[in-house]
Amino acid sequence: MILGPDTLARMRTPKYLLVCSSVVCLATVAVQGQDQRPPPTAVWAPKPVRTPSYTPPQKPWVKLSDLKARHKGDANWREHVVDDGRLTGEYISAAPGSKVSRRLHPDTREWFAVVEGQVRVELEGQAPFTATRGSLVNIPRQTFYSLETIGDAPSLRWIVNVARAKTLYPRESAEPPAAAPPPGMSWVPVMVNRTAGQYDQFNQPHINIHEAAAKNEKYTGGRWVRDDKSELLIIYGHEKNLPPLDPADKGHYHPESAEFWLIFTGQIRHAIEGQPPFIASEGDIVYAPANAWHATRFYGPEPACRLSITEYVGNTLLLEPRTETPRR
């Protein structure tokens, strides 16, 4: 998520680290505003002796330029970048005129970020709108939606949902949907009792970060998806507003959830346990497994934005202890 305080002491024991649970640095307070957390409490937490590993298809850093090179010449392509058994993240590139037929997810929320191009969105209960570069679209459970790539350029979307999420299609004819069913399954006609998902202060149909920043020079983002199965934070800002970089600061780790990011604009510096620090650029995907230290911050003179994606709402941050007497 964010870089931990530069003043954190580095105190270690062989198998366990004394850490402060639910600590939020000033940058997080600025981002989340209304979601300030309680004072830190000193606890013992288990930490793997070995650096947490990556399981395919997860990688520390997936460059959008590499994906584009791999699919050069393809009018339409898709590639799963994250599928860790809990959440999935997939890139889909669609040619102009491509459509996603009307459908819904029965028990999960899908949201997507538009990295390139224009997508016409029809959401049940909402007026149709066009999502462009910098847009986020939030689709609640049991809510019908359809999409179309418009304009003269392909659209590129980063899509997040729960692993193994199901999709239902309206039964508008006697013929099953054209889409292939999941492996080992077949389409059957059924009835469903449903209520289209509702929006609230943390779940809105659409936002464009570039438009939001243009309207408010102090824009920092905030929580944009709040769900019992996942959370998304928009983290927007400038390196010039951060404390000086402390290369020794390991940031924090999450005991239960991995965290991954879409670099939505600009550049972000990442330091992940077991990996050399690197600078990721717009469109890149970065992944940190659960229990892996990670320190993340804006980089360069231009504004930058990362979308922080985790499994839990308000997931716990574990940091190295401060030098002062711990709170019990």
The confidence score (pLDDT) of residue 320 equals 86
Q: Where are the domains of the chain?
A: 16-56+207-319, 63-201
The confidence score (pLDDT) of residue 143 equals 97
The confidence score (pLDDT) of residue 37 equals 65
Question: Helices in the chain by DSSP H: which ranges?
Answer: 26-32, 64-70, 209-215
One-letter amino acid at 97 equals: G
Q: Which two tokens stand for residue 160?
A: 């997040």
Question: Could you give the CA distance from residue 328 to residue 323 in angstroms, rounded to a whole number?
Answer: 14
Tokens 């309206």 locate to: 170
The confidence score (pLDDT) of residue 204 equals 95
How many residues are there in the chain?
Answer: 328
Q: DSSP characters for 187-234?
A: ---------PPPPBTTB-SEEEHHHHHHH-TT--EEEEEE-SS-EEEE
Q: Does domain 63-201 have CATH number 2.115.10.20?
A: no
Helix (H, G, I), strand (E, B) or coil at 274: coil
Q: Do domains 16-56+207-319 and 63-201 have the same CATH topology?
A: yes
Q: Phi/psi of residue 115, each to 5°? A: -90, -35
User: Diameter of the chain by CA atoms?
Assistant: 70
Question: Could you give the CA distance from residue 20 to residue 88 in angstroms, rounded to a whole number?
Answer: 30
Q: pLDDT tens string for the chain (328 positions)? A: 443 433 333 333 333 343 433 333 333 333 444 456 678 889 999 999 999 999 999 999 999 999 999 999 999 999 999 999 999 999 999 999 999 999 999 999 999 999 999 999 999 999 999 999 999 999 999 999 999 999 999 999 999 999 999 999 999 888 899 888 989 999 999 999 999 989 998 899 999 999 999 999 999 999 999 999 899 999 999 999 999 999 999 999 999 999 999 999 999 999 999 999 999 999 999 999 999 999 999 999 999 999 999 998 888 899 988 654 444 3
CATH fold of 16-56+207-319, please? Jelly Rolls (2.60.120)
